Amino acid sequence: MSFQLQPANPVLAALFPAKARRALVEALFSGHAPEASLSELARRARLTPRAVNVEVQRLEQAGLVEVRTIGSAHLVRLNERSASARALSRLLGAAMLQPAGGEVDPDVRPSLAAHGAPLQGVTPSEVYSLTETVLRGLKAARTDPTVLRVLPVVLAKHAMALDWIELKEGARRMNLKAELGVLLDLTGTAAGLPHLCAQAEGLLDARRKRTRYFPSVQGTFDRQLAERRSPAAASRWNFYMNMSEASVRDLLRKHVRAT
């Protein structure tokens, strides 16, 4: 996963016209990297170590980041004592929720509701097939915690009807293997449906070591909450999720029979 910003995002492009600054600010302020070394930031932002060093010095002079030294490593993190840094983190989080290509697909929630998702105030409309609904829901869940919360209900309700070959192939094509895997693992564990956990096998990419937030977080408080509540299933897939296994189990008991 790259932390390089999408230039098409109008807010970020307007605030940070320089690509190097834009990439580094995202890596530090979007909640993905609480603290990172200069070399790690260079790798994530796809910048040279020299470019990262220059940008970090500028951000440190502005009071937006703190740099501490451990041995030969220089670790960089957001300066949480700075009101400007906290405000920038919130602004960046909000900007990142706006997809570069336009608005969030308006048909995802109605289609999820048509397939049994408990979404209040949403008129069910089966715009997409079950497989397409799950895939589009997984994509939306990267930034939409409500969609993430109801996806286990859809998976549990249709556990015996899903076309697993089509679903997994779609997840691979859309770069959603990890998201599908963690939802199957979490749902299967919480619902007592071991065949869902079994379907997650083969989706785990052993090369992916860095822990991500699912959905993305907007600031320090949200990040800490996700880390504290994250279920064991999320850890197995290198995610932090603000959705405990107990909360998933309660939702499934309420909306899925025999759970």
**Has residue 56 been placed in a domain?**
yes
User: pLDDT tens across 195-217, in order?
Assistant: 999 999 889 887 777 899 999 88
Provide the 10 A C-beta neighbour count for residue 79: 19
| More confident call, 2 vs 182 | 182
Give the tens place of pLDDT for each residue, 142-196. Answer: 988 999 999 999 999 999 999 999 999 999 999 999 999 999 999 999 999 999 9
Let me know whether 127 and 180 are in one domain.
yes
Do the domain assignments include residue 84?
Answer: yes
Whether 92 and 112 map to the same domain: the answer is: no
| Same domain, yes or no: 250 and 127 | yes
Same domain for 146 and 208, yes or no, is yes
- The two counts, helices (H) then strands (E), for the chain are 14, 5
Residues 61 and 29 in one domain: yes
Quick one: 16 and 129 in the same domain? Answer: no
- Tally of domains in the chain: 2
164, 246: one domain? yes
CB count within 10 Å of CB 63 equals 13
Out of 39, 69, 96, pick the residue that ends a domain: 96
Does 222 lie in the same domain as 131? yes
pLDDT in tens, 34-62: 678 888 888 767 788 888 899 999 999 99
Same domain, 237 and 113: yes
Choose among 32, 2, 36, 30: nearest CA to 16.
30
**Residue 103 within any structural domain of the chain:** no
Which pTM value belongs to this model?
Answer: 0.61
- Where is the domain boundary, 55, 71, 96? 96
Q: What pLDDT digit, counting tens, does each position of 60-84 carry?
A: 999 999 999 888 888 898 888 899 8
Whether 3 is in a domain gets the answer: no
Look at residue 197 in the predicted model and tell me its pLDDT: 94
Q: How many CA atoms lie within 13 A of 241 on its CB side?
A: 28
d(CA 140, CA 14): 25
Contact between 210 and 238 (Cβ < 8 Å): yes
**In this structure, are 155 and 222 located in the same domain?**
yes
What was the pLDDT predicted at 67?
A: 92
Residue 185 CA to residue 197 CA, distance in Å, equals 5
- Give the phi and the psi of residue 75 in degrees, each rounded to 5: -100, 135
Q: Do 64 and 120 have their domain in common? A: no
Q: Please give the pLDDT value at position 100.
A: 45
Are residues 60 and 119 both part of a single domain?
Answer: no
Confidence of residue 23 (pLDDT cuts 50, 70, 90): confident
CATH number at residue 61: 1.10.10.10
Domain range for 72 = 10-96
Of the residues 96, 119, 138, the one at which a domain ends = 96
